[in-house]
């Protein structure tokens, strides 16, 4: 096969797949973006390929469904998809160092300071997958040692998100359950001389850290330090008046080791402890101790913590506690959909998005609302493996897993986004039975037809251009004369018969006798570069066949020639993807 033949065949496959997904009529614009997406090598020469793509789209659209299916099977369009999917579905996780069957304990330690997002999903899935791989245990530990950030609502949101994802921890606990224990370890470190109470002003601590010089507190004699230690835990210090610091090395090139903070005083209501505790351990102190005492064998975290690994092990060494293995993986977020609280919170607080579950956000609540399936997230995350390479995959890479799962289970229904009325001069049918899915056994529905039908403006424009089109599963039409009704705008058309014609577009329609007003909300990426994208949510107010009102809210459907959507309540759906 020559290079040209290979390209031609690759394009043909894309077109055929698209035609299957769009009710037998491939969409030229979608095909082009797929070609570019699936064959980045063709991107530079896409202009030259356009006539070829056009030709193939016309050729495929001119075939009837049976011929399209025959051609698809000859080219193994779907076999390849299945094979690729299978290969990618296999867990991509390398074996764990020092692991043996039945003895692995992993943990997922979110801070309850926001709604869980795709980054949390990655960590939780990898933690669970490793626990399963070794027939071990998974602990969900809420790392709640900063009452300024944490709220009860977020514990619940994390539990719900994980439940939806199918993460089943063997134990659920809070770091705050162990506060007394952690404080006693803090006292022990100071008593042993591995830590000290520092009463320098926060800005001085900051500048001494930057310069790498010791503060005077570090060399206080032990009795003075013990007096301070007593004061630290009995409530004599105000917030910001004192911290406990680990004796690292103020000249260490790794700045995480420049006498990091282990405890600080915070006067705020803790969601679980109220005001019972004022001296709170930092993550750097609590995490290694909790991991060690909980029996965690393999502690995984994202690679921003890499510089803090030395500290993690130093704390455990000073306390004589068992060391787990530490592993890093890269953090996950999608292009244009940052996960950081710093970026998301202002959007929520400023009312720029409707809440943590706004469908533009990468939170699990949002992904769920827009129709992403938990199984797709699993497959996607495992396809990435635990590489350290920082990648921001496009959201489309998750979509492709989701699409394969939605395709066989989603009802095919008609929605017309910019409705234009057509009046059929010589209608023939009063009722048609439509299949809810081209291949899966999802039942049928009856639609009352009418001489008044609505089609998308883009399709009406083709009619006006003189083209004959087919109302899917109904009959063909051609413009009679482009006159406008006196009361309403409409086009008069002639029924030109039911014969399946090869090269005419097949379009979805909604009958005047069988319709409901319907709104589809389409989320786009919330950020363009660093800026909030004000146009990231748009709405199509159109009409849908009335059958849609009988479908349960929360169902995934596909509006033919529009895309997959998830039904909300009251005549609204959120667009999932094409």
* Binding-site ranges for Zn ion (CB under 5 A): 198, 200, 215, 217
Q: How far is the CB of 198 from Zn ion (least distance, A)?
A: 3
Q: Which C-beta is closer to Zn ion: that of 2 or that of 223? A: 223
Question: In the chain, how many H helices and how many E strands?
Answer: 17, 27
Residue whose CB is less far from Zn ion, 196 or 395: 196
How far is Cα 14 from Cα 19, in angstroms, rounded to an integer? 9
Cβ of residue 317: shortest distance to Zn ion, in angstroms?
23
Residue 284 or 456: the one with the smaller Cβ distance to Zn ion is: 284
Q: How far is the CB of 569 from Zn ion (least distance, A)?
A: 58
Q: Which contiguous run of DSSP H or E holds residue 370?
A: helix 364-370
Least spacing, CB of residue 525 vs Zn ion, in Å: 46
Supply the minimum distance, in Å, between the C-beta of residue 254 and Zn ion. 20
The whole-angstrom separation of Cα 360 and Cα 9 is 36
For residue 296, give the nearest of 136, 521, 495, 492 by alpha carbon. 136
CB of 347 vs Zn ion, minimal distance in Å: 38
- Tell me the CB-side half-sphere exposure of residue 24, using CA atoms within 13 A: 25
What residues are paired with 490 via a beta bridge?
421
Do 472 and 501 meet the contact criterion of CB atoms below 8 Å apart? no
CA angle, residues 413, 403, 83, in degrees to nearest 5: 130
Instruction: Between 215 and 344, name the residue whose CB sits nearer to Zn ion.
Output: 215
Sheet with 452-456, strands from edge to edge, namely: 506-507, 469-471, 476-481, 490-495, 419-424, 452-456, 510-511
Strand order across the 137-142 sheet: 105-108, 137-142, 171-174
Tell me which residue of 193, 557, 242 sits closest to 410, measured CA to CA.
Answer: 557
Query: Nearest Cα to 120, choosing from 110, 112, 130, 128?
Result: 110
Give the sheet arrangement for strand 411-413, strand by strand: 411-413, 556-559, 563-567, 572-577, 515-523, 537-545, 415-416
Q: By C-beta, is 200 or 442 nearer to Zn ion?
A: 200
Judged by beta carbon, residue 70 or residue 211, the one nearer Zn ion is 211
> Toward Zn ion, which CB reaches closer, 198 or 469?
198
Q: For the CB of residue 260, give the shortest distance to Zn ion in the complex, in Å.
A: 13
The residues facing 302 across adjacent strands are 329
CB of 195 to Zn ion, least distance (A): 12
Output 247 or 331, the one with its CB closest to Zn ion. 247
Residue 285 or 518: the one with the smaller Cβ distance to Zn ion is 285
Helix axes 374-384, 152-165, angle to 10 degrees: 80
CB of 383 to Zn ion, least distance (A): 49
């Amino acid at each position: 096969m020559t290079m040209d033949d290979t390209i031609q065949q690759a394009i043909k496959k894309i077109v055929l797949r698209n035609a299957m997904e769009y009710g037998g009529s491939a969409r030229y614009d979608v095909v082009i973006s797929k070609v570019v997406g699936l064959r980045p090598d063709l991107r530079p020469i896409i202009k030259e390929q356009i006539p070829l793509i056009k030709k193939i789209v016309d050729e495929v659209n001119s075939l009837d469904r049976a011929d399209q299916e025959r051609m698809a099977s000859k080219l193994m369009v779907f076999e390849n998809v299945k094979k690729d999917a299978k290969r990618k579905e296999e867990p991509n996780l390398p074996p764990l160092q020092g692991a043996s069957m039945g003895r692995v304990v992993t943990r997922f330690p979110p801070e309850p300071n926001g709604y869980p997002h795709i980054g949390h999903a990655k960590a939780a899935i990898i933690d669970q997958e490793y626990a399963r791989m070794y027939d071990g245990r998974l602990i969900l530990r809420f790392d709640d040692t900063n009452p300024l950030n944490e709220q009860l609502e977020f514990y619940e949101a994390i539990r719900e998100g994980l439940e939806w994802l199918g993460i089943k921890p063997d134990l659920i606990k809070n770091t705050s359950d162990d506060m007394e224990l952690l404080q006693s370890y803090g006292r022990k470190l100071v008593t042993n001389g591995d830590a000290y109470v520092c009463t320098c002003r926060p800005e001085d601590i900051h500048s001494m850290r930057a310069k790498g010089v010791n503060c005077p507190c570090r060399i206080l004699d032990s009795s003075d330090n013990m007096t301070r230690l007593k004061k630290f835990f009995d409530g004599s210090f105000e917030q910001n008046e004192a911290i406990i610091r680990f004796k690292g090395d103020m000249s260490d090139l790794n700045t995480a080791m420049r006498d990091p903070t282990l405890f600080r005083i915070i006067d705020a209501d803790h969601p679980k402890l109220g005001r019972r505790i004022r001296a709170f351990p930092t993550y750097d102190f609590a995490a290694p101790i909790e991991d060690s005492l909980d029996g965690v064998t393999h502690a995984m975290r994202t690679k921003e913590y890499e510089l803090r690994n030395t500290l993690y092990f130093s704390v455990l060494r000073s306390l004589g506690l068992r060391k787990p293995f530490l592993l890093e993986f890269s953090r996950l977020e999608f292009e244009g959909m940052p996960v950081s609280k710093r970026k998301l919170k202002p959007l929520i607080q400023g009312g720029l998005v409707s809440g943590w579950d706004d469908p533009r956000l990468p939170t699990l609540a949002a992904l769920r609302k827009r129709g992403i399936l938990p199984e797709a997230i699993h497959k996607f995350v495992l396809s990435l493996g635990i590489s350290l390479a920082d990648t921001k995959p496009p959201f489309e890479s998750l979509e492709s897993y989701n699409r394969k799962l939605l395709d066989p289970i989603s009802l095919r229904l008609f929605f017309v986004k910019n409705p234009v009325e057509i009046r059929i001069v010589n209608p023939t049918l009063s009722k048609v039975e439509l299949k809810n899915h081209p291949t899966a056994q999802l039942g049928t529905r009856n639609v009352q037809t009418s001489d008044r039908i609505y089609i998308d403006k883009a399709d009406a424009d083709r009619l006006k251009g003189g083209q004959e089109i087919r109302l899917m599963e109904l009959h063909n039409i051609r413009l009679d004369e482009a006159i406008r009704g006196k009361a309403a705008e409409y086009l008069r058309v002639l029924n030109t018969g039911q014969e399946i014609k090869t090269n005419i577009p097949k379009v979805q329609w909604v009958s005047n006798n069988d319709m409901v007003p319907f709104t589809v909300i389409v989320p786009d990426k919330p950020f363009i570069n660093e800026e909030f994208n004000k146009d990231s949510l748009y709405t199509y107010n159109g009409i849908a066949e009335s059958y849609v009102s009988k479908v349960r809210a929360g169902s995934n459907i596909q509006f033919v020639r529009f895309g997959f959507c998830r039904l909300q309540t009251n005549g609204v759906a959120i667009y999932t993807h094409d």
